[in-house]
């Protein structure tokens, strides 16, 4: 069922701001909607690619993509993250025209039909510009706006941006990643990209940060970064965490991609406890239950 669009803000998952932080504004303007950051929010993943690691090819057609987006909104997603380029390890690059052809119709349809913030998972300036015009509310870039022209396109869009840590490109990022201090180096990279955004005219209040679990990091790097996730709150920006079904779960648990729900939910709960404000997930309904249960405990007298 398609959820009709209204003037309401993104769905808050808690009636009381028990998890509120004063480090950043609690209402983030996202195009025509606002994202409530007084409590953690769930971002549903919508890959319109043929080769994504978990669901490649399932939602490549617009009708299937729109139905899946609607089901995630009904399950409690406040954002739908639409991606037209797989960034799994070893993935090939996608020409800008091909990426735009995959993404633009889906973004336009969701923005028109559903009451949800549309996030666009892209590094491509042309995709940033066109999807902003079509109703996107957030730019989510795994390359932290490092691609030529991306900073200006994002600044011109007026939309908030999510900057993720990654070294190299997806095709080779997992070839012997090395850090002297993964937490300090991720933090320094994110601080540097924040400064670049501000210099380009993107207000700091429009920035979200993602430590980039699974991107140019070994299992040990991922676990250490997760253990010390709360230290990134010193950057005073909302944190987005995306670990749903990722290989770090398979490495620890010995589970295939379709058997990683329990591990994904465990990390979702830990991420919220360490300050994450947005959880990027495949399994929306289950993650919403986790967030609501945590909120209920926090709000208890």
What are 87-117's pLDDT values in tens digits?
Answer: 766 667 789 999 999 999 999 999 999 999 9
Is position 190 within any domain? yes
Q: What is the mean pLDDT of the chain?
A: 89
Is position 21 within any domain? no
Contact call for residues 59 and 72 (beta carbons, < 8 A): no
246 is a catalytic site residue: yes
Is position 74 within any domain? yes
- Mean pLDDT over residues 254-280, rounded? 97
Q: How many domains does the structure of the chain reveal?
A: 1
CATH number (domain holding residue 113): 3.20.20.20
Is position 81 within any domain? yes
Is position 32 within any domain? no
pLDDT of residue 35 exceeding 90: yes
Residue (of 301, 252, 12, 279) closest to 119 by Cα position: 279
- Mean pLDDT over residues 225-254, rounded? 97
Q: Which of 193, 206, 246, 277 is catalytic?
A: 246
d(Cα 179, Cα 201) in Å, to the nearest integer? Answer: 31
pLDDT of residue 125 exceeding 60: yes
Q: Which of 33, 193, 217, 280 is catalytic?
A: 280
Is position 196 within any domain? yes
Model pTM? Answer: 0.88
Is position 245 within any domain? yes
Residue 60 belongs to domain spanning: 38-87+95-296
Query: Higher confidence at residue 176 or residue 32?
Result: 32
So what's the pLDDT on residue 22? Answer: 47
So what's the pLDDT on residue 186? Answer: 98
- Mean pLDDT over residues 256-275, rounded? 97
So what's the pLDDT on residue 231? Answer: 97
Q: What is the pLDDT of residues 220-239, one digit of tens each?
A: 999 999 999 999 999 999 99
Is position 9 within any domain? no
């Amino acid at each position: 069922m398609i959820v009709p669009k209204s003037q309401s803000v993104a769905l808050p998952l808690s009636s009381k701001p028990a998890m509120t932080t004063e480090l950043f504004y609690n209402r983030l303007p996202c195009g025509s909607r606002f994202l409530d950051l007084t409590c953690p929010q769930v971002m549903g993943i919508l890959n319109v690619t043929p080769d994504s690691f978990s669901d490649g090819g399932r939602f490549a057609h617009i009708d299937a993509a729109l139905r899946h987006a609607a089901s995630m909104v009904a399950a409690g997603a406040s954002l739908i993250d639409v991606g037209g380029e797989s960034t799994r390890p070893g993935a090939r690059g996608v020409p800008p025209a091909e990426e735009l052809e995959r993404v633009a119709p889906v973004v336009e349809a969701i923005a028109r039909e559903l009451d949800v913030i549309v996030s666009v998972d892209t590094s491509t300036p042309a995709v940033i510009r066109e999807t902003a015009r079509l109703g996107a509310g957030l730019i989510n870039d795994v390359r932290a706006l490092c691609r030529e022209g991306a900073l200006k396109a994002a600044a011109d869009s007026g939309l908030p941006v999510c900057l993720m840590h990654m070294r190299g490109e997806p095709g080779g990022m997992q070839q012997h990643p090395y850090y002297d201090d993964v937490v300090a180096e991720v933090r320094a990279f994110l601080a540097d990209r924040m400064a670049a955004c501000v210099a380009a005219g993107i207000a700091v209040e429009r920035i979200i940060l993602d430590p980039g679990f699974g991107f140019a990091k070994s299992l040990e790097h991922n676990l250490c970064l997760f253990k010390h996730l709360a230290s990134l709150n010193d950057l005073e920006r909302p944190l987005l965490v995306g670990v749903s079904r990722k290989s770090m779960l398979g490495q620890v648990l010995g589970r295939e991609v379709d058997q990683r729900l329990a591990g994904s939910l465990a990390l979702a709960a830990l991420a919220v406890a360490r300050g994450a404000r947005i959880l990027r997930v495949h399994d929306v309904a289950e993650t919403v239950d986790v967030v609501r249960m945590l909120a209920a405990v926090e709000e208890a007298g």
